[in-house]
Structure 1
Amino acid sequence: MITEKAIETLEIEAGAVEALKERIDAEFEAAVQCILDCQARVVVTGMGKSGHIGRKIAATLASTGTPSFFMHPGEAFHGDLGMVTEKDVVIAISNSGESSEVVNILPIIRRIGATIVAFCGRRDSNLGRHADHFIDIGVEREACPLGLAPTASTTATLAMGDAMAMALMSARNFTSQDFAMFHPGGALGRKLLLKVENVMHTGEDNPIITADKTAKDALFIMTDKGLGAVSVVDADGKFIGLITDGIIRRALAKDYKFLDEPVKAIMFETPLTISKDKLAAAALSVMEKHKPRPVTVLPVIDSDNTPVGIVHLTDLLRQGVV
């Protein structure tokens, strides 16, 4: 009984969403164009379960390039209508089209001059008649066995809201970089917004040694800075190579006398480098793809071939660039 009812619920709701495809018509396109032409914001309103769905629709619109917010119809009737301007588009949600809290604010919205887009199940309802654009989200039946709890209708409304948001997103040529800008705290934001200059070690934390210094001096600097590498520069401060703890270890395995030799004799002359304006994710990619084995540090070199910093693998991982 439990399994059968769960499967039946999913089938009813899936059917409700499937039926929406036939309603993506000229009126839907006109509503989308209306929002594209909007010079202000999209205000989403709805009562009860429709309100919960409306909050999600408003959040999806806002995060995909359409400025929007949710307005509770009850609060709107007691002052929040002051947030609505004549340049706004109001998406009013009510399956029946007769929710009193929503219907009561429609004349005021009309008086303000905002455009009304109805997400509604009945065109002949008060909401349907007052709207400039009617989006049909009606369903044949709810999944609730009593036919009372909003189930299929809220699923259909949410799906139609997503369809509209994605259509707007596509029409605006909204990119992953745009998405990251609105989600700077998320993993995608860190990948697409965080640059090498935001994570590199600079100034006194940037290990640098001149070519005439000894390998022993380089070892002391590496130990002090704790990054496992030192950038080598010439007398003019230009980058000419890199000393790593791996180079030191391999040399020690042969003979410790090299410690008194100039670092130029053992440095790696063609190491991987990166510029500070590159994405941190690009630095990670360079490190991971190095053959025969990945590297853990990248000197950061400017256009004058000066080492302005160094970035370590742990810095990238700590920032969530994965």
Structure 2
Amino acid sequence: MCTTCGCASSEPQVEDDCSWTTLHSYEHDQAHLHAAGRVHTHDHTQGGGHAHPHGTHGRHIQLERDILHENNHHAGANRERLRQRGVFALNLVSSPGSGKTSLLVRTVSALKGTLPVAVIEGDQQTANDAERVRAAGAPAVQINTGKGCHLDAHMVGHALDRLPQNEGGLLLIENVGNLVCPASFDLGEAHKVVVLSVTEGEDKPLKYPDMFAAARLMLLNKTDLLPHLDFDVNKACGCARRVNPSIKIFCVSARTGEGFEHWLDWIRAGCASAEAVAGPKSAGGTSHCDRA
């Protein structure tokens, strides 16, 4: 996990329209501690010697458990916060280049004026994706993880502080492009949505089973390219269902809008359910979701 790959060695930053804030996250703190609270330092000033009094494998396992436990605590707080406001939150995950941001931009454009939509963007660097989302008409907060390979619930909680406090509506979280670490980190979302593009291999769900097993929905994107590719849609869907028999699958094109109504209807149903669960505070006002 991230405690051993070294991806947590920099501090994330949260950006909105005005400024950047650096977060000193729990994971960053803990990834540099050993048992009994000893700090792990790298000192190369004493010649070629490079001694690392690393803990045992068991200590690494305990550290991972501690990180996930703390993350789950933050995720629970995020989930309750969203539940009380009747917000339907989705965590979009995929490999880099699958078309997540293009999907979000088209989704924002399609839903504009019918229900509130807000977006949290996760990337290692730049605010390019958040700027694209804002141009499409939704408020967006960019989280730059630096060397980190995934968002965590602590980061998302800070991003929520910078978004409009809507009652009802949709929150879309675009995670860092990575099919490994994000599978382990609950952000407080209602569901994970995994995006697979037809320019990738049909067997990707078998290669990265944890992510596809954790997802409620798979969007098979870039279907407009199918006439130009040797990609077997049935095989890809079959691989996903071998890992997760209950996964729902929509074939879509972020470029042409093909298949988008299924995706949008699913979102509307989720928003309606989230508003209903929130109770009178959200449901008593004007509903932003189609309930037909």
Question: TM-score, structure 1 length as denominator?
Answer: 0.28
Greater relative CO (CA pairs within 8 A, separation 6+) = 2
Higher helix proportion = 1
